[in-house]
Amino acid sequence: MAEIHELSAVQLRDALQAGELSALQATNHFLDRIEANNARLGAFITVTAAQARKDAAEADRQYALRARHGGTLPPLHGMPLAFKDLTDVAGVVTTHGSAALEHKPALADGALPAALRTAGVVSLGKTQVPEFGLTAYSENRIAPPSRNPHALSRSSGGSSGGSAAAVGAGLVPFAPGSDGGGSVRIPAAACGLVGLKPGRGLVPAGESSGDPARLVVAGPLARSAADAALLLDSLVPGPGRADASQHPPDGPGEAAPPAGSYLELTAREPRRLRIGVSLDSPWQAIFPFTPDREALNALADGVARLEAAGHETSEAAIRYDNRYPDAFTTAWTAGVGSARIAPQREALLTPLTRTFRRRAQHRSAAQLNESLEFLRQFQRDTLVQYSGWDLMMTPALAQTPRPVGWFTGAAHGGGYWPAAEWPGDADGDYRKQCEYAPWSSMVNVCGLPAISIPVHWTGGAQGNGLPMGIQLIGRMGSEGLLLQVAAQLGF
């Protein structure tokens, strides 16, 4: 057998279900890898080794009982994974990546860990995040930055950057992330993974309070479409999974509801699709940007792969309302404005968080409601424009994965700033993020599913450079189709 971390998540699931591996064997293997690699990678904030071994031993006990008395195992029996440190896991501190909060153990599991524990997983700990999940990089004041497993001088992205680094480095077989403006797709693209943001309402396990625009949804980070589908099957409850009828009507062109599990769907060829290709972004009016040559190369590789698979691609000119940046920023930062932070601890916030918190607190309820109404109209207008195609395609990122410290304007050594003033300019930081990932947030506003697929490497082949990807945006209910296309392209 291959090394345990070299198995796909599906292969590991099969080995655990068949009793070829015990849950404790798998857990110990990944804990050993975390111990050996996390100091240089910064993927984990907290490792819960003792509890993980206890949970794995209990999973093995349940396996032995079922072997003697019959019955079925949970679908992810004994599968190790980790949770972003934005969501509560009972008995474990939730830091939210912030030095300004008191770090106390959570009293109960949040919705996402509760659902996945029921599915049989073993949690190994909590992964690195930016403060309150606000940024496209995973650096904060409480732990070393999360680094890219393909180049340690580069960022793993954000806000699910620690989870992406852990999956990319083989510290866990897959991981759930959360995405409110690109936070699954950005780190997936930076780390060479498949990252799926489900459509609004499919996964009832959000991690964000204070989300008035309903931007945030949980989704899988994995090394393949099949592995992502395996995790998605346990994120979506009930027998109606992969059924587009779960979604409320969100505009023209709903996807037809597929039958079967998402994992089963990845084994089937998708129908021939019409795919619109666009570089248009709602950020370009306020932050004019030019995509890197490698981003354009990734897009060209995506076009070539899709056309070789029999799909039709054509240029799509999309017009976005230039009021979008202000409205999105207002909605995106509303939660940090209402976060409960003791006045004497405000100085411990990073400049970006502190700046946007202050601005959010100075906005009236009427201003927030005006922005939310605009975003609802933006959604309607954008869905009408997208309706001429089955899928929309953009680069996943406009630039190659950025150096650690690039957004804040400071180079990191091996550590972080636990007390000294965080360097950098909040508005410059935010602009860099919007230019780095200009095609992400509008998908959350529209409530649509989207997937990042690592079609390109800067060195010409995997392992010789940095990963670059494409983003495919689907209609409501098209999560299964997006996974099918990723699998068809060999991912």
Q: Which residue has the tokens 């082949």?
A: 461
Q: At what angle do helices 111-118 and 225-235 cross, to 10 degrees?
A: 100
Q: Is the peptide bond before 159 cis (omega within 30 degrees of 0)?
A: yes
Kindly give, in sequence order, each residue whose CB lies less than 8 Å from that of residue 395, ignoring residues fewer than 6 positions away. 279, 291, 295, 296, 298, 299, 439, 468, 469, 470, 471
Residue-wise DSSP of 5-55: GGS-HHHHHHHHHHTSS-HHHHHHHHHHHHHHHHHHH--EEEE-HHHHHHH
For residue 438, the cross-strand partners are none
* Known active-site residue 54: no
Distance, C-alpha 131 to centroid of its chain = 16
- Catalytic residue (one of 183, 224, 281, 478): 183
* Known active-site residue 159: yes
What phi-psi label fits residue 61: left (phi over 0), alpha (psi between -120 and 50 degrees) or beta?
alpha
* Known active-site residue 452: no
Distance, C-alpha 231 to centroid of its chain = 13
- Catalytic residue (one of 138, 159, 208, 261): 159
Alpha helices per DSSP H over 81-221:
111-118, 161-168, 185-191
The maximal CA–CA distance of the chain, rounded, in angstroms, is: 65
Q: What is the dihedral of CA 15, 19, 22, 27, to 10 degrees?
A: 20
CA nearest neighbour of 82 among 17, 187, 24, 160: 160
Q: Which two tokens stand for residue 101?
A: 């909060």
Q: Which two tokens stand for residue 124?
A: 């190994």
What distance in Å separates the CA atoms of residue 390 and residue 254, rounded to the nearest whole number?
A: 10
8 A C-beta contact, residue 177 and residue 218: yes
CA separation, residue 429 to residues 154, 336, 341, 407 (Å): 16, 17, 23, 5
- Catalytic residue (one of 84, 126, 197, 432): 84
What distance in Å separates the CA atoms of residue 335 and residue 29, rounded to the nearest whole number?
A: 38
What distance in Å separates the CA atoms of residue 72 and residue 50, rounded to the nearest whole number?
A: 27
Q: Which two tokens stand for residue 367?
A: 């201003």
Q: Which two tokens stand for residue 352?
A: 């970006």
Active site residues: 84, 159, 183
